[in-house]
């Protein structure tokens, strides 16, 4: 879109928004994988944390996509949730899907942390 029309949505915001959507997507797919695996993968607290991550990532992405000046507040919440989700997933990183999910959560957390600063 013409740059002058959305000058409130900076390139940095759009990139962070895309990172959040990727994290939303990976977590959404990984929840189903975890439920199929069972055991520690399907621990209620882990599934809940991933569901939290799915939702705050979309919210954070949309605040930036709308060009909202309040996006640092949703980015802050998102970076905290993603950090926690990354830790939980990394603890099962012998499973390549969990490693992929942990990596994306970490990237999203880092990106949101910068936007929240």
Among positions 16, 20, 23, 81, the unique one binding its own copies when judged by CB under 8 A:
81
Contact set for its own copies, span 4-43 (CB under 8 A)? 5-6, 8-9, 17, 21, 25, 28-29, 31-33, 35-36, 38, 42
Task: Give 36: exposed, middle or buried? Use CB within 10 Å, 0-12, 13-18, 19+.
Answer: exposed
Among positions 10, 93, 100, 110, the unique one binding its own copies when judged by CB under 8 A:
100
Distance separating alpha carbons of residues 28 and 55, to the nearest angstrom? 9
Q: Nearest approach, Cβ of 22 to its own copies (angstroms)?
A: 10
Q: At what angle do helices 11-37 and 71-90 cross, to 10 degrees?
A: 30
Among positions 3, 11, 70, 94, the unique one binding its own copies when judged by CB under 8 A:
70
Pick the closest to residue 35 from 26, 43, 23, 27 (CA basis): 43
Contact between 93 and its own copies by CB under 8 A: the answer reads no
Query: What region does 95 belong to: left with phi over 0, alpha with psi -120 to 50, or beta?
Result: beta
Q: Nearest approach, Cβ of 12 to its own copies (angstroms)?
A: 15
Distance separating alpha carbons of residues 44 and 87, to the nearest angstrom? 16
Distance separating alpha carbons of residues 1 and 13, to the nearest angstrom? 15
Binding site for its own copies (CB under 8 A): 1-2, 5-6, 8-9, 17, 21, 25, 28-29, 31-33, 35-36, 38, 42, 44, 47-49, 51-52, 55-56, 58-59, 62-63, 65-68, 70, 73-74, 76-77, 80-81, 84, 96-97, 100
């Amino acid at each position: 879109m013409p740059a002058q029309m959305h000058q409130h949505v900076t390139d940095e915001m759009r990139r962070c928004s895309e990172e959040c959507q990727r994290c939303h997507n990976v977590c959404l797919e990984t929840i189903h994988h975890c439920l199929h695996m069972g055991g520690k993968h399907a621990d209620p607290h882990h599934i809940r944390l991933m569901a939290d991550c799915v939702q705050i990532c979309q919210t954070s992405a949309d605040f930036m996509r709308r060009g909202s000046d309040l996006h640092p507040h949703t980015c802050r919440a998102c970076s905290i949730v993603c950090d926690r989700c990354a830790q939980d997933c990394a603890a099962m990183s012998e499973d390549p899907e969990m490693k992929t999910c942990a990596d994306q959560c970490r990237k999203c957390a880092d990106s949101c942390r910068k936007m929240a600063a």
